[in-house]
Amino acid sequence: MSLRLRWARGAGVTMIAGLSLVAAACGSGGESTAAESAGDGKLPAEIKLVGVRDTTGPVAYAGLGAVKGTQLAVEEINNSNFLGEGVKITVTEKDSANSIETASSEVTSAIADSGVAAILGPAAGQQAAAVAPVAERSKTPIVFTQAGSDGVVIGKYTFRATSPMDTYYHLATEYLAAKGLKNVTVLYNATFPTFAQLAEKTMPDLAGKSGLTVVSSTAVQATTQDFTSPTRLIAEKKPDAALFFLTAPQSVTALKQLRQAGYDGPVLGTSVQGGGNLKSAGEYGKGVIYPTDFSPAQSQGKSAEFIKNFQAKFNALPDQYAAEGYDAAWWIARAIKASGSATRDGIQQGLAKVAAEGFEGAMGQLGFEGNDMRVPGVLVEWDGEAEKVVTTTP
Amino acid sequence: MSDWYAANIVLVQSTMTTLLLALSIQLPLRVGVFSFAGVGCYGIGGYAAAICMIRLEMTTWPSIAVGTLLAGAASFLLGLLIQRLNGLYLGMATIAFTLIIAILAVNGGSLTGGAAGLFGALGDLTTGSILAVTLVVVVVFALSETGGLGRRVDAVREDPELAAAMGVDVSRYRRMSFLVSGLVGGLSGALTILLRSSITPAEVNFQLVVLALTVIVVGGFRSWAGALIGSVIFVWLPKALDFVGEWETVVYGVIVVLAALYLPGGVLGLAADLYHRLRSGRRGGETDDEKGAGGADAGPGAVAGREFDQLAVPGEGR
Amino acid sequence: MLQDVFNAVVLGSIYLLFALGMALAWGTIGVLNFAHGVTFMFSAFAAHLVADRVALPAPLIVVLAAAMGALISCLVQALVFQSILRRARNPRAAEMQILIAGIGVAVIPLAIAQRLTNGAPFGFGSAAEQAQVYQVGGLRLTTMALVVIVVGLGLGVGLAWWLKASKRGLALRSIGVDPETASLMGANRTSLALGTMAVAGALAGLAGALLTYQLGAISAETGDVLLIKAFAAIVLGGLGSQAGVIAGAYFIAIAETFVIVNNWGTWADAVSFGLIFLMLLVRPQGLFGRREVRRT
């Protein structure tokens, strides 16, 4: 009942504000068939999205990054009249505060508000896994960023704008193979689903393909803080390269202690090292190589444009979380345009349609596997101050 | 109303599951057993129910029953094993038990899904059915606070030797507290997980112990009503504090500190206090007598410690 | 093998450094301070903020962190714990309230640090972290590891001795056993408690700075993990016994190192907690504890 009421009100505003809709359709032109449907007056003047992510707590950097990326995208979408003159996207951000209950409560509230067209979901895997079935049940499209674990993209209405780490980690193994670094060690945090998956399933696979030998694979816990013993074991193996899949603080300690244990070969990490998380490692962080889905060092096409605009707006370099938040918002905008509808079902169909075709975003040419994004990825090296792109060609 | 309900259904349900978890920690405390095994049982119940639904394809309520009973059994055995421990040593042993449950889940291979946990265990639960189950538990707990049973429980906590001398089988009460705590903790875990549909080892952690303890101490830790008040406060606080934005957690901390400072008997203690004052105001001179009666089973000197006053509250309606 | 033993000793000293202050406050004045973890973290964080702006020599940073720790701890004691103790006449109720108040206090610096770092790890800048590595026999040692061991063990043994031998130590211990009689005998409970908390806080700050050097960087949550380990070490050793804390810390470290060296890393906590569990079954009062259990 309230649904009809709200949409009626929305439509009214559209008619008043949308006198020049035809012009809008022309202005945004060139975008194939979608442009016509955007212009036929079906879209409300305000399309409400809700973002539910951690903007406080231990992984606040991921949530805050995504929020900024989304803000930039929405500004671009609205200013360019991408969805037609007078059609604006607004995003209300909610802090899930590192709590599964809060995330699922905020998502449920957003779903209950029939004015909300789609949700930008939490970055933490556990929160995402808890809200995914809620979104499916209520047929509300939700686009996650990060949330790399299983059980997140589970049906028609759940989408993810982040490529799982294991889909582009081949960049690292191919680099090692190209450099002739055959014997590698792995040190990983086995309590983190993403790292566990990467170390236990993906690495053996990739190593086989690239002709590498994993000489040792050392598991630690999320609570492990001192790495004197595990790094000694690694240094003793004298590997050609040492790989580590650890959280940001763990990485700093492991790097330092690995060097102190007498290992001075190349070290490879994960995209967790992005976003300046290696700064506190100082000297020890220099030269660490890792594949990531986005780097501010990228200098081509849409990525470069995104970096430029982001810097202009926030006076800082974007990180991968911002790029993901940016692409997630653009994905939704394209979806609305593609289906010509800003209803929940319309957006769901649109998201699937856009996914089937792929598009170019901040993270490069984006492909999709079902509702799950795939990116080309980029291999970067931390030089102590910033990332620079590493080329795999020998 | 129904709009409000739809928007807040998670909090409504979560209030009840949090209450159950808090009760599973509160009961041993009331018997004088410093046990946090209830949180470990929450993990056992959650995992067992999820495994039943996903791996054995059982339906919702049988899965919950399995989770509850398994957790109860585990807790009972644990109780047999560590019943001669006391005080904080018992507390440490039960925290160790809780954390070991989480580590078993990480290393449980395909059964527990390892670090990624289990997902897709969406139970067919309605708020009404959860409410019914919670009510049953609350009624049982409320009964245990009144009459002879209530007095014996108090005696076992306050003075085990005296209780034993009076013919109360103290160690039986302690063992039973483990059993009931395990059952209720397991029930809470099973319900929570089947509502959420997923569980990971990281959720069974020390923070959950802290939350349960905070709930009952701030609410009032001698009665189920205290646990209820605490659950309502801590489940709804984040929403109520929405307006302070990014500093929400700081305000949360301040509230907990203030409660610890000024509400020694919890919110329930405060309510009982006001009630006493109201009554004694009306009846004038009887104040002292009443306080004496309220603190009678707590021994002399307990009058100032308001927590003991509430001991008498649930029974006062008789 | 020798290297593993050395590494276990380093790890044990880390746990010990952290646990010392907590054990001191708990074993003497009965304050189980759950804000000890954030005192540790926030002292290091404050020192990090200073070190970020001014280049300071390492000893000065350590002193700064220790002072910060003492300050935080005193504030908590004066503003919160003291007034709980004053109000509550029942020691058991007070103990529980202090526990909860500590939990509440802990939330505040944690949230502030998380807010300011956005979850990124922090250290003392790159200039301060270049540790010297020595090769002695088959052993690889770093200056920082040696400092951690010497300071940890030195303070641990020193504190235990001080409590046993000095007059103040006696006064403190008497408070732990029977506060009323102790105050009748002339021990000023309030000022002794404040002094104890200052020392405990300084120890937390010291541990924070040293650990940040040893680990390279810590995060806002580092204190939380150590809190559980310290809790375990203290209970394992036997409450009220400083010698017990030393034993408990090394016991846990040795167990964990053993597990990691054998590459059962994901079982590390299970083994240490399992051992604690078994140990308590055999000796319910902890390794060095008194048989009569005072607290509930």
What is the rounded CA–CA span in Å between residue A204 and residue A166? 12
B318 vs A317, more confident: A317
Q: Is the pLDDT of residue A30 over 70?
A: no
Surface-to-core class of residue B168, CB atoms within 10 Å of its CB (0-12 exposed, 13-18 middle, 19+ buried): middle
Query: Cβ separation of C228 and B206 shorter than 8 Å?
Result: yes
- Which residue bears the tokens 């078993």? B104
| Lowest-confidence pick of A132-146, A178-192, B256-270 | B256-270
What is the rounded CA–CA span in Å between residue A61 and residue A50? 19
Report residue C135's pLDDT band, with 50, 70 and 90 as the boundaries: confident
B120 inside 8 A of chain A by CB: yes
Q: How many residues does chain C have?
A: 296
- Which residue bears the tokens 């349900």? B13
Q: In chain B, which ranges are E strands?
A: 118-119, 198-199
Final residue before a domain boundary, out of A237, A262, A292: A292
* Mean of pLDDT values over C266-278: 83
Report residue A37's pLDDT band, with 50, 70 and 90 as the boundaries: very low
Final residue before a domain boundary, out of A292, A324, A346: A292
pLDDT at A33: 38
Q: Is the pLDDT of residue C237 over 90?
A: no
- Tally of structural domains, chain C: 1
B11 inside 8 A of chain A by CB: yes
Q: Chain C closest CA to B292's CA: distance in Å?
A: 16
Q: Are residues A185 and A71 in the same domain?
A: no
Q: Chain A closest CA to B25's CA: distance in Å?
A: 20
* Within a domain: A386: no
User: HEC profile for A347-383?
Assistant: HHHHHHHHHHHCEEECCEEEEEECCEEECCCEEEEEC
Strand partners, A160: A144, A372
Host domain of residue A209: 166-292
Query: What is the 8-class DSSP label of residue C78?
Result: I
Nearest to A240 by CA among A181, A323, A308, A293: A181
* Within a domain: C294: no
Report residue C221's pLDDT band, with 50, 70 and 90 as the boundaries: confident
Residue of C nearest to A274 (CA): C120
ipTM of predicted complex: 0.85
Host domain of residue C109: 2-220
- Tally of structural domains, chain A: 2
Q: Is the pLDDT of residue A185 over 70?
A: yes
Q: Are residues A251 and A358 in the same domain?
A: no
Q: Are residues A136 and A149 in the same domain?
A: yes
Token duo for residue C251: 């016991």
Strand partners, A185: A216, A242
Report residue A4's pLDDT band, with 50, 70 and 90 as the boundaries: very low
Query: Cβ separation of C273 and B96 shorter than 8 Å?
Result: yes
* Within a domain: C206: yes
What is the rounded CA–CA span in Å between residue B28 and residue A135? 39
* Within a domain: A287: yes
Q: Chain C closest CA to B261's CA: distance in Å?
A: 6
C126-163: buried (b, 16+ CB within 10 Å) or exposed (e) per residue? bebbebeeeeeeeebbbebbbbbbebbbebbeebbebb
Nearest to A139 by CA among A115, A117, A162, A166: A117
Residue C101 has its nearest CB partner, among B84, B260, B301, at B260
* Within a domain: C143: yes
pLDDT at B44: 96
Query: Cβ separation of B305 and C83 shorter than 8 Å?
Result: no
Token duo for residue B288: 């002292």
Q: Are residues A29 and A141 in the same domain?
A: yes
Q: Is the pLDDT of residue B291 over 50?
A: no
For the stretch C51-79, pLDDT in tens is 888 888 888 999 999 999 999 999 999 99
The CATH number of whichever domain residue A200 belongs to comes to: 3.40.50.2300
* Per-domain residue ranges of chain B: 2-204, 263-316
Report residue B49's pLDDT band, with 50, 70 and 90 as the boundaries: very high
Q: Are residues A157 and A170 in the same domain?
A: no
- Which residue bears the tokens 């370099």? A317
Query: Cβ separation of C226 and A220 shorter than 8 Å?
Result: no
Query: Cβ separation of A105 and B6 shorter than 8 Å?
Result: no
Q: Is the pLDDT of residue B314 over 80?
A: no
Nearest to B189 by CA among B65, B53, B46: B46
AA letter at B255: I
* Residues of chain A contacting residue B246, judged by C-beta atoms under 8 Å apart: 55-56, 95
* Within a domain: C267: no
Q: Are residues A159 and A174 in the same domain?
A: no
Q: Is the pLDDT of residue B306 over 80?
A: no
* Residues of chain C contacting residue A226, judged by C-beta atoms under 8 Å apart: 10-11, 14, 214-215
Q: Chain B closest CA to C127's CA: distance in Å?
A: 33
Final residue before a domain boundary, out of A272, A292, A312: A292
* Within a domain: C125: yes
pLDDT at C88: 74
Query: Cβ separation of A193 and B196 shorter than 8 Å?
Result: no
| Angular region, C293: left φ>0, alpha ψ -120 to 50, beta rest | beta
**Over pLDDT 70: what percentage of chain B?**
88
Q: Is the pLDDT of residue C130 over 80?
A: no
The 3-state DSSP class for residue C126 equals: coil
Q: What's CA C255's distance to the chain center, in Å?
A: 19
Q: Are residues A149 and A172 in the same domain?
A: no
* Within a domain: A340: yes
Query: Cβ separation of A193 and B249 shorter than 8 Å?
Result: no
Q: Are residues A151 and A93 in the same domain?
A: yes
